Structure 1
Amino acid sequence: MRLIDLAVRQALRSRCRYRVGALIVAGNRVLAWSPNIPRNSPTVDYSHATFHAEEAVLRRVQNASGAVAYIARVNRSGETLLARPCPRCQQALAAAGVAKARYTTGPMTTDIMSFY
């Protein structure tokens, strides 16, 4: 299984309006994984306030130096969509020492972003 497919599986687990999943990989080892997570109580518009998947996965990893982040977004049908990290998540990934991020850009396509 490709690593981006594991990020897609995390996105499918999301309960948010925009379903995004991420994982951090160092070498051949998956260090952490997470979908985006609702931030508020379910009674307070939880579909729009989330911890981004990139933020959530960085909270679970101790050392991401030199690692690669895989990020995927899916629609209701499970098709992959554009999942380019937002500027805040790009800063968080770079600050954590992540070297690259591979993200989905559409059905069956990906792109890479370098932080060095």
Structure 2
Amino acid sequence: MVSYLNLAAKEARRSHCRFRVGAVLAKGGRVLLSGRNKFRNSSTLDYRIGTFHAEEVLLRRVRPPDRSIMYVARVNVQGDLVMSRPCDRCMEGLLKSGVARVVYTINNDRFGVLDLSTP
């Protein structure tokens, strides 16, 4: 589990956004896809949502297989892991997509788990 979070953190460090977030989609011990948050083409179209969140980037690129797990990591300017719990908009997309669990960073030493498979 930690290796997937490390991969998500590596993706986050490659982001050019103010809040650097990376995500990894995995199932059965295999990485299916990884990505990071990205700027939209024109933030003037919707000033409240200037980026595609890392979770959205993955969900737009592939339909996750049922029971897959998404790992999400956010890094600060110093490169330390910080809270990366998915926002309400991303949670809605994750629930609709069939992702069973989300593992997210809390800090360098802790992570949280959201079980989406239970009602």
Query: Do the aligned residues in 1 keep the contact of 2:76 with 2:82 (CA within 8 Å)?
Result: yes
Counterpart for residue 88 of structure 1? 89
Counterpart for residue 76 of structure 1? 77
Q: Secondary structure at the match of 1:25?
A: strand
Counterpart for residue 40 of structure 2? 39
Query: Do the aligned residues in 1 keep the contact of 2:43 with 2:51 (CA within 8 Å)?
Result: no
1:53 equivalent in alignment to 2:60: no
Cα distance, 1:13 vs structure 2: 0.7
For structure 2, list consecutive stretches of 5 or more residues without a partner in the other structure: none
Counterpart for residue 98 of structure 2? 97
CA separation of 1:93 and 1:43: change in aligned 2, threshold 3 A: closer
Counterpart for residue 114 of structure 1? 115
RMSD: 2.0
Give the 4+ runs in structure 1 shifted more than 6 A.
none
Counterpart for residue 30 of structure 2? 29
Cα distance, 1:41 vs structure 2: 4.6
With normalisation by structure 1, the TM-score equals: 0.90
Cα distance, 1:62 vs structure 2: 2.9
With normalisation by structure 2, the TM-score equals: 0.88
Mapped partners of 1:67, 1:39: distance in 2: 26
For structure 1, list consecutive stretches of 5 or more residues without a partner in the other structure: none
Query: Do the aligned residues in 1 keep the contact of 2:64 with 2:99 (CA within 8 Å)?
Result: no
Counterpart for residue 7 of structure 1? 8
Q: Secondary structure at the match of 2:90?
A: helix
Q: Secondary structure at the match of 2:63?
A: coil
Q: How many residues align?
A: 114
| Letter aligned with residue 11 of structure 1 | A
Cα distance, 1:43 vs structure 2: 9.7
Cα distance, 1:103 vs structure 2: 0.1
